[in-house]
């Protein structure tokens, strides 16, 4: 099981939908989150892209030196730059970080935003362009190890004699991960990507998506790995966790929710449509309305675009829900919680020890042997409570 955390490059707060309790996302703060994730034993961090985000490549580059083992799942959006430049950036990043790059291919689902970036393609054309983009990107990087050039003539993108002199550390290229819920997305995943990601839908829906991508891939003689993107609200008791969930949305007003839902409705993203459909939208809702499957809460999606659900519960329950998803065939979990620094610690400390397949060595102190915890009365290290 690979557990990733998330860098909140579009804002972090104690409460959603308000500037109350918000904090600035500066380099020092991002270094704290990345450093915490690195030290706690998370596999890596996802860094998103879009007009609401700081640029993911600049952010990731700024954090290489502040981390040792942490991997960076950096979003790449076709259409914003040429695949040859994206391949060069990937190779350089992989070299400078000692092979710690993964790429998240993001086709995009908001026409208005994309037009602002100069991309005037509809949903189907964007997926054609994404397929061409990642084909060129993969070939340039794969051939860089033997110094070969690459020609390609596509409908949207072409290259002649494309060549990369400095190959990436990882062979043939850094892993390509990707999320999207339309048929075109599943087809692209089946054809070209290493791991398919879904936002946190209920297990039965996730199982259907996995089966579809897996079948499409099998027809092409390929296999694909799977991952899920979820928020987590874990506390020592179920009551405290649900109270924390309520608190997270306690400052958002109905008008803000309505405005957010109207914006989501204008997008052509099937993934976003499925997220919005998980709750009745419109206004703030009760726990009963937002708990759309056991311990899966759709409250985040009232105002946040993209990943809109959280696993809510005590550590044992949250670990059990994660294992339930893992049993469907997923082994990559990209998690987050508000605020991202404190919740990175809380999740690691409360839940990592309960996950059966999570390697424990780094969490248990890395090279330090312990004991850990505040010493009792200058006498002894604290002992475990009898449970």
CB of 112 to ligand FMN, least distance (A): 12
Nearer to ligand FMN, 36 or 114 (CB): 114
> Which residues touch 162 (CB under 8 Å, ≥6 apart)?
84, 87, 136, 139, 140, 149, 150, 151, 152
CB of 202 to ligand FMN, least distance (A): 15
Nearer to ligand FMN, 192 or 317 (CB): 192
With beta carbons less than 8 A apart as the criterion, state whether 241 and 312 touch.
yes
Q: How far is CA 138 from the centre of its chain?
A: 21
> Which residues touch 364 (CB under 8 Å, ≥6 apart)?
370
CB of 123 to ligand FMN, least distance (A): 6
Nearer to ligand FMN, 100 or 231 (CB): 231
Nearer to ligand FMN, 242 or 264 (CB): 264
Nearer to ligand FMN, 8 or 108 (CB): 108
With beta carbons less than 8 A apart as the criterion, state whether 335 and 346 touch.
no
Of 93, 199, 226, 347, the residue at the interface with ligand FMN (CB under 6 A) is 199
Using CB under 6 A as the binding rule, the residues of this chain from 71 to 100 that contact ligand FMN are 75
The first and second tokens of residue 236, run together, are: 């020592």
Residue with tokens 């519960």: 313
Query: b vs e for 179-216, b when ≥16 Cβ sit within 10 Å of the residue's Cβ?
Result: bbbbebbbbbbbebbbbbbbbbbebebbbebbebbbeb
With beta carbons less than 8 A apart as the criterion, state whether 300 and 291 touch.
no
If one asks whether residue 179 binds ligand FMN (CB under 6 A), the answer comes out as yes
Of 2, 67, 170, 269, the residue at the interface with ligand FMN (CB under 6 A) is 269
Closest chain position to ligand FMN (CB):
179
Reference 332, options 104, 170, 152, 112; nearest CA is 104
- Please, what sign has the CA dihedral across residues 353, 232, 226, 177? negative
Helix (H) or strand (E) holding 159: strand 158-162
CB of 198 to ligand FMN, least distance (A): 6
Torsion of CA 66, 331, 12, 104, to 10 degrees: 70
Nearer to ligand FMN, 144 or 192 (CB): 192
Helix (H) or strand (E) holding 230: strand 225-234
Please, what is the Cα angle at 49 between 159 and 132, to 5 degrees? 25
If one asks whether residue 205 binds ligand FMN (CB under 6 A), the answer comes out as no
Of 270, 323, 324, 331, the residue at the interface with ligand FMN (CB under 6 A) is 270
Of 209, 214, 216, 229, the residue at the interface with ligand FMN (CB under 6 A) is 229
If one asks whether residue 197 binds ligand FMN (CB under 6 A), the answer comes out as yes
Binding part of the chain for ligand FMN, among 103-111, 138-146, 217-225, 350-358 by CB under 6 A, reads 103-111
Binding part of the chain for ligand FMN, among 4-12, 87-95, 107-115, 210-218 by CB under 6 A, reads 107-115
φ, ψ for residue 140, nearest 5 deg = -60, -45
CB of 73 to ligand FMN, least distance (A): 9
Nearer to ligand FMN, 184 or 302 (CB): 184
Of 103, 106, 140, 290, the residue at the interface with ligand FMN (CB under 6 A) is 106
Nearer to ligand FMN, 180 or 315 (CB): 180
Lay out the site mask for ligand FMN across 302-331 (x = CB under 6 A, - = otherwise): ----x-------------------------
Task: Work out whether strand 12-13 and strand 22-23 pair parallel, antiparallel, or are unpaired.
Answer: antiparallel
CB of 64 to ligand FMN, least distance (A): 20
Residues that bind ligand FMN in the complex, under the rule CB under 6 A: 48-50, 75, 104, 106-109, 179-182, 185, 197-199, 229, 269-271, 306
């Amino acid at each position: 099981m690979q557990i990733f955390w998330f860098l909140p490059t579009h804002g972090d707060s104690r409460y959603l939908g308000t500037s109350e309790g918000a904090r600035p996302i500066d380099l020092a703060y991002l270094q704290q989150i990345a450093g915490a994730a690195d030290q706690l034993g998370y596999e890596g961090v996802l860094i998103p892209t879009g007009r609401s985000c700081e640029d993911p490549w600049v952010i990731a580059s700024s954090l290489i030196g502040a981390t040792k083992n942490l991997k960076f799942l950096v979003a790449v959006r076709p259409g914003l730059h040429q695949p040859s430049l994206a391949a060069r950036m990937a190779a350089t990043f992989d070299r400078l970080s000692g092979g710690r790059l993964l790429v998240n291919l993001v086709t995009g689902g908001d026409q208005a935003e994309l037009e602002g970036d100069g991309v005037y393609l509809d949903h189907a054309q964007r997926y054609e362009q994404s397929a061409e983009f990642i084909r060129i990107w993969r070939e340039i990087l794969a051939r860089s190890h033997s110094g070969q050039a690459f020609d390609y003539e596509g409908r949207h993108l072409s290259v002649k004699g494309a060549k990369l002199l400095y190959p990436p550390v990882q062979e043939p290229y850094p892993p390509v991960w990707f999320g999207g819920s339309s048929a075109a997305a599943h087809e692209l995943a089946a054809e070209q990507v290493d791991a398919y990601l879904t936002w946190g839908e209920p297990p039965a829906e996730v199982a259907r998506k996995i089966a579809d991508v897996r079948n499409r891939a099998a027809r092409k003689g390929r296999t694909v790995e799977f991952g899920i993107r979820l928020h987590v609200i874990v506390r020592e008791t179920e009551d405290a966790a649900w109270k924390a969930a309520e608190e997270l949305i306690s400052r958002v007003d109905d008008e803000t929710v309505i405005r957010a839902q109207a914006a989501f409705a204008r997008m052509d993203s099937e993934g976003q449509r499925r997220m919005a459909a998980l709750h009745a939208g419109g206004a703030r809702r009760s726990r009963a309305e937002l708990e759309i499957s056991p311990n899966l809460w759709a409250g985040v999606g009232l105002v946040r675009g993209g990943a809109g659900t959280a696993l809510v519960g005590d550590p044992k329950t949250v670990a059990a829900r994660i294992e339930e998803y893992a049993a469907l065939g997923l082994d990559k979990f990209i998690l987050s919680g508000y605020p991202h620094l404190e919740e990175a610690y809380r999740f690691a400390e409360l839940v990592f020890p309960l996950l059966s397949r999570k390697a424990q060595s780094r969490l248990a102190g890395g090279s330090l042997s312990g004991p850990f915890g505040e010493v009792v009365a200058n006498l002894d290290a604290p002992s475990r409570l009898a449970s």
